[in-house]
Amino acid sequence: MKVIFLVESDSGPSIGQIVLITKGRDAGQYAVVIQKLDERFVLIADGDKRKFDRPKKKNVLHLELCSYVSPEVQNSILETGRVTNGKLRYAISKFVNELMTDEKGDVFDGERRCH
C-alpha cells in the first residue's frame, strides 16, 4: 500500500499571497502573487500601478513573503483564472490596515513589515 503526502512548501509563494517588494523600482510596495511561473519566478500585481492584465515578473529572492493569503483573490483565480483589480487593491488595503493595527487596537507608528 502506497501513501502519498501532498505537502505545500512554506518557503515558496502561493497564489493570493501578499508580498513586500524588496528590490527594484517598486521596492517598499505591497503586491499580490497571481501566478507561479516556476520555483524562482512569480507574477505579481497590485491592481493600481501594476494591473492584472500587465503583471510584473519578479524573482522570489527579491520579495519578502507575508504570512497572509487573500482568500478572495485565491478563490477568484482558482475558479475563473482571473481577478479584478479592485479585489487586488482591497486585499492589499485590508492587509495593510490589519498590519497597522495590533490586537489591542493601537496604531503602530513604526514601519510596516511582513512577519
Q: Could you tell me the CATH number of the domain that includes residue 41?
A: 2.30.30.30
- Among residues 65, 86, 78, the alpha carbon closest in space to that of 34 is found at 78
Number of structural domains the chain divides into: 1
With respect to residue 11, please indicate whether it lies within any of the assigned structural domains.
no
Q: How many CB atoms lie within 10 A of CB 95?
A: 19
With respect to residue 110, please indicate whether it lies within any of the assigned structural domains.
no
With respect to residue 78, please indicate whether it lies within any of the assigned structural domains.
yes
Q: Under a CB-based contact definition with an 8 Å cutoff, are residues 85 and 51 in contact? A: yes
Model confidence pLDDT, tens digit, residues 31-79:
999 999 999 999 999 999 999 999 999 999 999 999 999 999 999 999 9
With respect to residue 107, please indicate whether it lies within any of the assigned structural domains.
no
| Domain span including residue 56 | 17-100
Q: Under a CB-based contact definition with an 8 Å cutoff, are residues 91 and 77 in contact? A: no
Model confidence pLDDT, tens digit, residues 72-106:
999 999 999 999 999 999 999 999 998 887 544 55
10 Å CB burial of residue 90 (0-12, 13-18, 19+) is middle
Q: How confident is the model at residue 1 (pLDDT cuts 50, 70, 90)?
A: very low
pTM reported for the whole predicted model: 0.79
With respect to residue 111, please indicate whether it lies within any of the assigned structural domains.
no
With respect to residue 23, please indicate whether it lies within any of the assigned structural domains.
yes
With respect to residue 1, please indicate whether it lies within any of the assigned structural domains.
no
Joined grid coordinates for residue 82:
482571473
pLDDT of residue 5: 31
Q: Report the share of the chain in percent with pLDDT over 70.
A: 78
